[in-house]
Amino acid sequence: MFRKYLIGILIFFCLQHNSICFAQTDSINNVIDFSLDGFGNIYVAKKTSEFIKINSEGKVMRINSRKDLGVPTSINAENPLRILIFYREQGWLIVADNQLAFQFEIDLKRLGLTDPTQVANTFDGGIWVFDRGNGTLNKIMISPTGVQNTGTIDLRQILFTELNPQQLITDGNYLILSNDNTLYIFDRYGTYIRKIELDDITISLNIEETTVNASTKNSLYSCDIRYLSEPTKYAAMKQTAIRKSANTKSKLYELTLGDVLMVSPSKK
């Protein structure tokens, strides 16, 4: 009885303080995608077309929504001052600030992109867009006079393969395109450097200075981008139901195939 009373008090406290209370294992349902910034904040895109910013302590900081565009495809917070909210089916991109206030909206198909599938920020204020229809990596720039496609790289002429990437990430110095079990590494200008072969589709992927860290459902990988050596491979606990994961020093985030974002203490 006393335990139930304490749980009731805790739930009331969390609701009053607009907090999800991620101290222990928790979950959020109907999640399409999530992304971490460099400050421990997590940005969540839900199937209900809601976008949520949650700080490192589990407190909801901001909520916004855009119902008329349908279900979003992805959210990208690698640049904490420029959050990218992408709708693949519509070819539509919303650029928000770190308070999830919408700043710009871009119709990517009006820029000549036939099937844009992945987006990421560039180091100089632009936006990388991969167009599956043309097999190209495109650099979009926003200026006071409008939005322009300022550069197109035909990856079919460089990689000699058809691509359908699952992830596109950057840290400002390197750009990584994750396509099935292969990571394609580019520099900040889009110049191809090398590829890294994995044993399955990438679940988690991040860059720490010159090191790429990745995981599949079976293994963990670490590789220094500067060298052409094979990545170091470690055995990992099988993650058959996880389609994306990321972690901070205190929390582990795992997005399941059932669109549930699981939050638990970090395993770092």
Stated pTM of the model: 0.86
Give residue-wise pLDDT tens across range 193-247. 999 999 999 999 999 889 999 999 889 999 998 888 889 998 876 667 888 998 8
Q: What percent of the chain has pLDDT over 70?
A: 89
Q: What local confidence, expressed as pLDDT, does residue 1 receive?
A: 44
| Residue 237 CA from chain centroid, whole number | 22
- Provide the pLDDT confidence category of residue 9 given band limits of 50, 70 and 90: very low
Are the C-beta atoms of 21 and 11 separated by less than 8 Å? Answer: no
In the predicted structure, residue 74 carries a pLDDT above the cut 90: yes
Give residue-wise pLDDT tens across range 154-207. 999 999 999 999 999 999 899 999 999 999 999 999 999 999 999 999 999 999
In the predicted structure, residue 30 carries a pLDDT above the cut 90: yes
Give residue-wise pLDDT tens across range 143-152. 888 899 999 9
* Across 6-20, 32-46, 103-117, least confident range: 6-20
Q: What local confidence, expressed as pLDDT, does residue 8 receive?
A: 40
- Provide the pLDDT confidence category of residue 17 given band limits of 50, 70 and 90: very low
Q: What local confidence, expressed as pLDDT, does residue 250 receive?
A: 83
In the predicted structure, residue 54 carries a pLDDT above the cut 90: yes
| Residue 2 CA from chain centroid, whole number | 42
Give residue-wise pLDDT tens across range 38-52. 899 999 999 999 999
Distance CA 226, CA 218 (A): 25
Q: What local confidence, expressed as pLDDT, does residue 7 receive?
A: 37
Beta pairing partners, 206: 213
- Provide the pLDDT confidence category of residue 134 given band limits of 50, 70 and 90: very high
Ramachandran sector of residue 112 (left: φ over 0; alpha: ψ -120 to 50; beta: rest): left
In the predicted structure, residue 34 carries a pLDDT above the cut 80: yes
Structure tokens at 134: 């043309």
